[in-house]
Amino acid sequence: MKAAYIIKTGPPENILYGDLPAPKPGPTQCLVKVSAVALNPVDTYIRGGMIQMPLPSPFIVGCDLAGTVAEAGPGVTRFEPGDRVWGSNQGLLGRQGTFAEYCAVDECWLYPTPDGVADEQAAGVALVGITAHLGLVRDAKLEKGETIFVNGGSGGVGSTVVQMSKAIGARAIATAGSDKNAELCRQLGADFVINYKIQNVEVELKKIAPAGVNVWWETLREPNFDLAVGALSARGRMIVMAGREARPPFPVGPFYVKGCTLHGFVVFMASPEEQQDAADDINRWLAEGKLRANIDRVMPVSQAALAHRLQEESTIGHSGALAGKIVLKP
């Protein structure tokens, strides 16, 4: 089968595209014929060696996938050949990745794709959708009628957080770095959008939410806790999930006297049951049209190296070249 893989970690150009043997499914695995995969910033960190992970060699890059079950191991109970599925959490903790024509995936990381939802959509919402759900539902416990601020509303995670917040019935305020991205946030359901390049976020938030925001979702790798804690309401919750090297100052006093809480997590440490709970709601919202993948562009898997370069320059280099996900087709 054709696959995008690395032999050793390094720059995007280390990604090779060529023939590898197709995997054989284990007893509890499905062999999935892949029709779409999505790229996430974590893929670039693993490929670049910025996150130390056990890696098979060769290592096929990628976490997310959608496709059709081609073969099911004897212990598989939920799927059979022909079923459309999507999933995430591959290419992590020693598991092989997804940027290939076939993947062997344990059934606990697979979910049925709702009728009428394209594979590009299912793949594009996979990791970011599970991330958004874990943060909003499991950790921040966002409730109907509350106000959430999403810093980075046009990105892969942020655009999903905005949509899920609206599906939950909250009021969503998002930031964007251009008029185009601000319009995108509005289309995704944001009630207010602040252009952080030309507006003062602190001042605008005071006008929109004078009593503070109930939840602050930070997608930036360099959180500004002074700004965030100042903008939180009493008993506000803050989510941090990016920036392994970040060591910003933290305003202890204002934080604890307001009774705020801080939640940090990585999606791949969530249990299969926690990820399944997220996938159930994601599937419901996809089917109801309340959630869609924010796809910036679709590329062939043969261009995985170029896609990694674009993603890295956008997420780490703030190039502004992407507003959402890169989905790739084998």
Ligand X SMILES: NC(=O)c1ccc[n+]([C@@H]2O[C@H](COP(=O)([O-])OP(=O)(O)OC[C@H]3O[C@@H](n4cnc5c(N)ncnc54)[C@H](OP(=O)(O)O)[C@@H]3O)[C@@H](O)[C@H]2O)c1
* Site for ligand X contains 96 (CB under 6 A): no
154, 163, 233, 283: residue in contact with ligand X (rule CB under 6 A): 154
- The per-residue DSSP string of 50-109 comes to SS-----SSEE--S-EEEEEEEE-TT--S--TT-EEEE---SSTT---S-BSEEEEEGGG
**Nearest distance from C-beta of residue 47 to ligand X, angstroms:** 13
Q: State which of positions 260-279 bind ligand X (CB under 6 A).
A: 265-267
Applying CB under 6 A, the span of 74-82, 274-282, 300-308, 311-319 interacting with ligand X comes to: 311-319
* Site for ligand X contains 49 (CB under 6 A): no
* Site for ligand X contains 155 (CB under 6 A): yes
Phi-psi region of 22 (alpha: psi -120 to 50; beta: other; left: phi over 0): beta
46, 104, 142, 242: residue in contact with ligand X (rule CB under 6 A): 242
* Site for ligand X contains 41 (CB under 6 A): yes
- DSSP three-state, residue 162: helix
Burial class of residue 241 (count of CB atoms within 10 Å of its CB; 0-12, 13-18, 19+): buried
* Site for ligand X contains 58 (CB under 6 A): no
**Nearest distance from C-beta of residue 313 to ligand X, angstroms:** 10
Indicate the residue whose CB is closest to ligand X.
155
29, 35, 219, 275: residue in contact with ligand X (rule CB under 6 A): 219
Give the x/- contact pattern for ligand X in 176-215, rule: CB under 6 A: xxx--x--------------x-------------------
> What whole-number distance in Å separates Cα of residue 119 and Cα of residue 113?
8
* Site for ligand X contains 175 (CB under 6 A): yes
Q: Are 23 and 61 in contact (CB under 8 A)?
A: no
**Nearest-5° angle of CA 216, CA 123, CA 279?**
60
78, 206, 221, 258: residue in contact with ligand X (rule CB under 6 A): 221
Size of the site for ligand X (CB under 6 A): 30
- Please tell me the total number of residues recorded for the chain in this structure: 330
Q: Which residues pair with 68 in a beta bridge?
A: 33, 84
Burial class of residue 52 (count of CB atoms within 10 Å of its CB; 0-12, 13-18, 19+): exposed
> What whole-number distance in Å separates Cα of residue 328 and Cα of residue 310?
13
**Nearest distance from C-beta of residue 199 to ligand X, angstroms:** 11
> What whole-number distance in Å separates Cα of residue 303 and Cα of residue 242?
26
Helix (H) or strand (E) holding 237: strand 232-240
Applying CB under 6 A, the span of 49-57, 59-67, 154-162, 298-306 interacting with ligand X comes to: 154-162
* Site for ligand X contains 6 (CB under 6 A): no
Binding residues for ligand X, per CB under 6 A?
A: 40-42, 128, 131, 151-152, 154-158, 175-178, 181, 196, 219-221, 241-242, 265-267, 314-315, 318, 320
